[in-house]
Structure 1
Amino acid sequence: MKLLSNFRYNIFNYDASFDSLTISSNNSFGLFNRFIQRRWKKPIVSAQTRLEDRVRDPHLDNFMVHLNKLKCILKIHHLMSNRKRGSFVSLQLMSRWRNIVGLNVTMGSFIYKYPHVFDEFVHPFRRNLCCRVTRKMKELVMLEKVAVKQQEMEAVKRLKRLLMMSVNGTLHIHALRLIRRELGLPEDFRDSILGKYSGDFRLVDLEIVALVDRDDELGKAEVEKWREKEYTEKWLSEFETKFAFPINFPTGFKIVGGFREKLKNWQRLPYAKPYERKEVIRVRSCGGVERYEKRAVAVLHELLSLTVDKMVEVDQLVHFRKDLAIEVNMRELLLRHPGIFYISTRGKTQTVFLREAYSKGRLIDPNPIYIARRNTLELVLLGRRKTKQLLACDNVKEGNTSVVYEVDKECKREGDWVIPFLESS
Structure 2
Amino acid sequence: MALFSNSANSNKHLYHLFHLQHSRTFVDARVKWVRDTYLDLAVEKEKNLQQIISLKNLILSQPSKTIPLSSISLHKTLFKLPTTAINFFQKYPSIFQIFQSSKPFPLPQVKLTSQAVTIHNEESKILNSSHYKKDVAERLAKLLMLTRAKKLPLDIIDLLRFDLGLPHDFILTLLPEFPEYFQICNMGDKNSKGSEMFGVELVSWRENLAMSVLEKKVMEENGGIIPRMPIKFSINLPKGYDLEKKVRIWVHEWQNLPYISPYEDAFFLSPNSDQAEKWTVAVLHELMNLFISKKTEKENLLVLGDYLGFGIRFKKALVHHPGIFYVSNKIRTQTVVLREAYKKDLLVERHLLMGMRYRYLHLMNQMVKSDRRYRIRVNMGNYKMQ
TM-score, normalising length from structure 1? 0.67
Q: How does 1:134-283 map to 2 (within 5 A)?
A: 134-150=113-129, 151-205=132-186, 207-229=198-220, 238=227, 242-277=230-265, 281-283=268-270
Cα offset for 1:99?
5.3
Residues 235 and 324 in structure 2, CA contact (< 8 A), matched pair in contact too = yes
Question: If each structure's helix is expressed as a fraction of its own residues, which one has the higher value?
Answer: 1
Q: Do residues 116 (structure 1) and 103 (structure 2) align?
A: no
Q: Partner of 1:422 in structure 2?
A: none
In the alignment, residue 174 of structure 1 is paired with which amino acid? D
Name the residue aligned to 1:326. 310
Match of 1:26 in 2: none
Aligned to 1:414: none
CA contact (8 A) 2:306 2:312 kept: no
TM-superposition CA deviations, 1:265-287 (whole Å, max 9, x none) = 0110114311224x663318xxx
SS in 2 for 1:342: strand
**Alignment correspondent of 1:343:** 327
Displacement of 1:324 after TM fit? 3.7
Aligned-partner Cα distance in 2 for 1:201–1:105? 38
Letter in 2 for 1:252: G
Does the C-alpha gap of structure 1 residues 265 and 363 become closer, same or farther in structure 2, counting only changes over 3 Å? same
Q: What is the rounded CA distance, in whole Å, between the counterparts of 2:67 and 2:172 in structure 1?
A: 31
Structure 1 pair 81–192 and aligned structure 2 pair: CA distance change class (3 A): closer
Is 2:303 the counterpart of 1:303? Answer: no
Q: Is the 8 A contact 1:281 1:291 kept in 2?
A: no
Cα drift, residue 176 of structure 1:
1.4
* Corresponding residue for residue 316 of structure 1: 300
Distance 1:193 1:118 in 2: 28
* Residue 66 of structure 1: aligned partner: 45
Task: Decide whether aligned partners of structure 1 residues 212 and 329 sit closer, same or farther in structure 2, where only a CA change above 3 A counts.
Answer: same
Say if 1:267 and 1:229 are closer, same or farther in 2 by CA, change over 3 A: farther
User: Matched residues in 2 for 1:289 and 1:262: separation?
Assistant: 13
Distance in 2 between residues matched to 1:102 and 1:193, nearest whole Å: 25
Give, as a single letter, the amino acid of the residue that structure 2 aligns with 1:134: T
Aligned length: 328
Residue of structure 1 equivalent to 2:374: none
Separation in 2 of the partners of 1:304 and 1:139? 31
Bigger radius of gyration: 1
Partner of 1:395: none
TM-score by length of 2: 0.73
1:243 and 1:271 in contact (8 A); partners too: yes
CA shift at 1:295, angstroms?
0.6
Give, in angstroms, the shift of residue 349 of structure 1: 2.6
Cα deviation code 1:186-228 (max 9, x no counterpart) = 2232233333322222444262333232222211110113334
Please point out which of 345, 349, 369 is paired with 1:361.
Answer: 345
Distance in 2 of aligned mates of 1:120 and 1:208: 38
* Cα distance between partner residues in 2 of 1:101 and 1:323: 24
Matched AA of 2:363: L
In structure 1, stretches of 5+ residues that fail to align are 1-44, 387-425
CA distance in 1, matches of 2:61, 2:150: 36
Identity %: 28
* 1:321 counterpart SS class: helix
* Structure 1 residue 245: Cα displacement: 0.7
**Separation of aligned partners in 1, 2:75 and 2:256:** 53
